[in-house]
Copies of this chain bind each other. A is one copy, B any other.
Amino acid sequence: MESETKSEIIDATNRVLCEHGYAGLTIKKIADESSMTTAAIHYHFDTKAELLNAYLDDLVEQFKSNITSEATDPRDRLTALLDTVFTSSNPDADGFPVAIMELKSQAPFQEVFRERFLDLDNMMRGVITDIVADGIDEGHFNEIDPNEVARLVTTMINGAHARKVALGEPLDETRRVVEHTLALQLGWHPGSEVVA
């Protein structure tokens, strides 16, 4: 598939998901949101699950490039990562977290969704582990297991997402708690305020 066609279908899928949710997603609506016919979309993706697999795959790639900053100092890389994950960056900001939550609810029944969420999780934990390990090597952070820090931060990000959807709570609330916890663990406050 040409990457332009693919990215047009995926962009249209995102818009339909954000507006109508998982239950309301149809190939017809994706066609309406793009320049493609339903037949053309079906030609590229046999099933809705296959299309959503590609959508999630693209999301993992995008998210990876978003949380990987060009900075070299591990403290700046960590701050940039927190900026990205705790900011609603999707243009359809309200519908997007809900759609992702619905897809997570489907993961027990759709093996490909689960695989993509595992990819996302592994990627995110890998990026955080690398940052923390580099920060320790360079003497900026306390000696602590980088994998544990990555697991903590990632689980807090998952919690923040659920709280945004279920409670309508701004992501900032969780960011503040993550920063305090990191300050205690790393001996460095992501707000750049030195605490240890």
**A residues in contact (CB < 8 Å) with B:** 21, 23, 94, 98, 101-102, 104-105, 107-108, 114, 117-118, 121, 148, 151-152, 154-163, 165-168, 173-174, 177, 180-181, 184-185
Copies of this protein in the complex = 2
In the bound complex, CA of A102 to CA of B184 (Å): 35
Dominant SS at the A interface?
A: helix
Nearest B-chain residue to A154, judged by Cβ: B159
Measured between beta carbons, the chain B residues less than 8 angstroms from A121 are 163, 167
Other CB < 8 Å A-B pairs besides A108-B165, A121-B167, 8 of them? A101-B105, A104-B166, A107-B168, A152-B156, A157-B159, A158-B159, A159-B159, A159-B162
In the bound complex, CA of A155 to CA of B169 (Å): 11
